[in-house]
Amino acid sequence: MARSFITSTLSMLSTLAIAYGIDQWIYYQFRHGKPIGNPVPQYIGEILGGLVLCVFWLTLSWIILVKIRRNSTAAIIFIVIGLLAFVWFPLEVISPFWAIHLYLFTTIPSNLQYSGLFVAALGGLTLLLPRHNPS
């Protein structure tokens, strides 16, 4: 049981970390990229980041829903951390350091927010779906 809890929590945290890294990389590309007439090269990085994130989402859902034993404590942690990741950056805009991320996280939704919603939904599915013993 402890092994499934640790595995699910580490996979969730790595998915959120990858989403945050992709957000920062996209922000860096748009902030420090050379202004060119054709914006396609800048958007290719955003598309590739989305594809990488989809791979992590599919892997996370396979690990949580199919591979390991269901754990209700881990599901509640998924819901709480997922919703915190979803509302973190809108709350950060209210904080004293709001100017750092104001442009990125108020103009476009971030991959971290999408990943937070995905993790929270996955936690809800873990609570609602029947338990099974993986072989």
Segments forming the whole domain that contains residue 114: 2-128
At residue 120, the pLDDT reads 92
Is the predicted pLDDT of residue 99 greater than 80, yes or no? Answer: no
Residue 43 inside a domain? The answer is: yes
At residue 20, the pLDDT reads 86
Residue 113 inside a domain? The answer is: yes
Lowest model confidence (mean pLDDT) among 60-64, 70-74, 102-106: 102-106
**pTM for this prediction:** 0.76
Residue 80 inside a domain? The answer is: yes
Model pLDDT for residues 21-50, shown as the tens digit of each residue: 888 887 777 777 666 666 666 778 788 888
Residue 134 inside a domain? The answer is: no
Residue 135 inside a domain? The answer is: no
Among 11, 34, 12, which residue's Cα sits nearest to residue 82?
12
Residue 63 inside a domain? The answer is: yes
Residues 6 or more apart whose Cβ sits within 8 Å of residue 43: none
Q: Residue 120 corresponds to which amino acid?
A: A
Helix (H) or strand (E) holding 76: helix 72-94
Residue 58's pLDDT band (cuts 50, 70, 90): very high
Domains held by the chain: number: 1
At residue 52, the pLDDT reads 92
Residue 11 inside a domain? The answer is: yes
Residue 133 inside a domain? The answer is: no
